Amino acid sequence: MLLAIPDILTPDEVATARAALDAAEWIDGRVTAGAQSAAVKNNAQLAEGSPVADALGEMILAGLARSPLFISAALPQRIFPPLFNRYGIGADFGVHVDNAIRAVPRTPIRLRTDLSCTLFFSHPEEYDGGELLIEDVYGPQRVKLPAGHLILYPSTSLHRVTPVTRGARVASFFWLQSMIRQDAQRSLLFDLDQTVQQLGLEHGGNDANVLRLSGIYHNLLRQWAET
């Protein structure tokens, strides 16, 4: 499942984050890449654990927590602390797949990367190129979202960032371990949850069929979830 999720951050939060990011010190982005990814990665990144990264990461996590669409689609169990990257003119990231397991810095926690996330801080008109190109069952999907919006996609996907030819692309990227390991099961639960919510709006939450479908959703979640 590949899903664009709008308004994770408000315009004011985006503006605050951009001011902090524009003033921040950037390092070589290959510091967090695996051996295969490092060979094709050409961008800049905030140092993990820097005060700016930590503060903005908390802002992002709060934004995710207040997004029902994100919770419904991702069913997150653990979220990797958000990282931040910058692609200036000529920067890109070649075709790669994300590491299956990530160690959370400064903790003993390791998480399985079920879903990958990119949250945009640059408005599309600020830069040319820099599209996130994700290989999907329906062919390559080009993603370039408004600032404050997020793209959620399976970490198993081959993907790349095309070269930036004007301006700069600034974003946050991170991974999460879902309570539901299998993408097909997550997609089914998401579709069912969205249907239940829509029917609830149309017929009321106490409608017998809405309650029955809600029960099916929770029983499937109970059967498939890993906690």
Give the residue numbers of the binding site: 96, 98, 159, 169
**What's the gap between Cα 62 and its chain centre?**
14
Binding site members for Fe cation:
96, 98, 159
Binding site members for 2-oxoglutarate:
169
Q: Would you state the structure tokens that stand for residue 90, as one six-digit string? A: 């000529």
CA–CA dist 71, 95 (Å, integer): 28
CA–CA dist 59, 48 (Å, integer): 16
CA–CA dist 49, 52 (Å, integer): 8
Q: How far apart are the first and last CA of the chain?
A: 21
Q: Is the CB of residue 199 less than 8 Å from the CB of residue 209?
A: yes
